[in-house]
Structure 1
Amino acid sequence: MGDSRQFSVHLALGGGAVCDAVADLLLWKKWTQSVAFLVGSTALWFLFERAGYNLLSFVSNVLLLLVVILFLWAKSASLLNRPLPPLPNLEVSEETVVQAADEMRVWLNFALSIARDIAIAGNLRLFSQVATGLWIISYVGSLFNFLTLLYIGVLLSLSLPVLYNKYQIPIDEKLNVAYDVARIQYQKIAGIMLRKSPLPSNKEKKIQ
């Protein structure tokens, strides 16, 4: 079992494209940014979920504080002959919009290809993966509210990709074994259901 069976998790997460920074963040290649993202997400979850802080009030207060700081900084800079706040060029370039649209198109086409493989090609393995994933999301969503579920998603996104990138081959082996067991059980159940529910004969169809 060599490295030929492995694929680039970094590339799958968008590495080398618009989402290169996101891939580095999720794989902890820039650990300071990953830690900051984790700490910030935890702090926001604690404020809104445990402290009972209102999201609209929080955003308004943060923006108000930012506006006051920038206004006072600009006024003091003009009076004391100091440099103005180091703000970047506050506009979205056409290139950024095009790159974001291209990235969104890639993900949309990927989702449509999955739907086509399930609905038209009848891909049993892909159907099992998607159905299991949606069932797990539905079950977990019934246990937590949206904010906690979103925070759990952040924790998983910061842990699962890096673990899979490190232990890709043994994880793939375990998943293949689980898929084979599930496929055999599915075939057995489908066979039992077909035997218990035989198709109506031509004579029965004519009577109906």
Structure 2
Amino acid sequence: MACTEEYLHEFLGGGYVADICLWRNQNISLSMLIGSTVIWFLLEVVECYFIPLVCYVLILMMIMLFLWSNGAGIFNSMKGPPGFDEIKLSESTCEQLLASGFSVMSSCFSSLTFIYIVFLCFGTLPIVYMRYKGAVNYFLSKSNEEIENCFQMVKSNILDKIPRVKEKSI
């Protein structure tokens, strides 16, 4: 099946998140990427503590929502603050996250770095693939051939030399 932008959009959920991953709105995608990099930098490199940082962010969000809701009343042309009843997370999404080996991967390095790498991959890999589809497909096919050659070499040099116990017919 040919991998078109529409197929990738549907594969990523076909909604707002897919639009961000495919960089259809470059300002939002870039701000998400920069924001996650700043958070990772603060927590991993500068070693800020997580709880105070979350509290500061929540206080800033409360101030922004307060100013937004009061400013919308003063200026009639402003749109009101967003409703929080629109945020939903399905049970299948949670199950997929738990079943994907989250704990195994995060044992190799810090959980925050793992989450940042996953976010970075979701933010950049779809658009990189769309732009350099031919080169990526060529590289993946060559990598697949190399893996198959290595497997055949291991099979012929090691696995085929292991004596097998033959079952006797009764």
TM-score, normalised by the number of residues in structure 1 = 0.58
Matched, 1:150 2:115: yes
User: How many Å apart are 1:183 and its aligned residue?
Assistant: 1.4
Partner of 2:152: 187
Secondary structure in 1 matching 2:85: coil
Q: Quick one: which of 160, 165, 175 aligns to 2:130? A: 165
Tell me how far apart the structure 2 counterparts of residues 63 and 146 of structure 1 sit (CA, whole Å).
Answer: 22
Higher share of residues assigned helix: 1
Matched, 1:49 2:14: no
Structure 2 stretches lacking a partner, 5+ long: none
Q: Quick one: which of 64, 83, 87 aligns to 1:89? A: 83
Residues 106-121 of structure 1: pairs in structure 2 closer than 5 A:
none
Secondary structure in 2 matching 1:91: helix
Matched, 1:6 2:2: yes
Tell me how far apart the structure 2 counterparts of residues 155 and 73 of structure 1 sit (CA, whole Å).
Answer: 30
Q: Given the superposition, is the C-alpha separation of residues 89 and 181 from structure 1 closer, same or farther in structure 2, using an over 3 Å criterion?
A: closer
- For the Cα contact (< 8 Å) 1:48–1:54, is it kept in 2? yes
Tell me how far apart the structure 2 counterparts of residues 173 and 102 of structure 1 sit (CA, whole Å).
Answer: 37
Q: Given the superposition, is the C-alpha separation of residues 196 and 52 from structure 1 closer, same or farther in structure 2, using an over 3 Å criterion?
A: same
Question: Matched residue pairs, number?
Answer: 161
Tell me how far apart the structure 1 counterparts of residues 132 and 120 of structure 2 sit (CA, whole Å).
Answer: 18
Larger Rg: 1
CA RMSD of aligned residues (A): 4.0
Secondary structure in 2 matching 1:23: helix
- For the Cα contact (< 8 Å) 1:42–1:151, is it kept in 2? yes
Residues 16-55 of structure 1: pairs in structure 2 closer than 5 A:
19-55=14-50
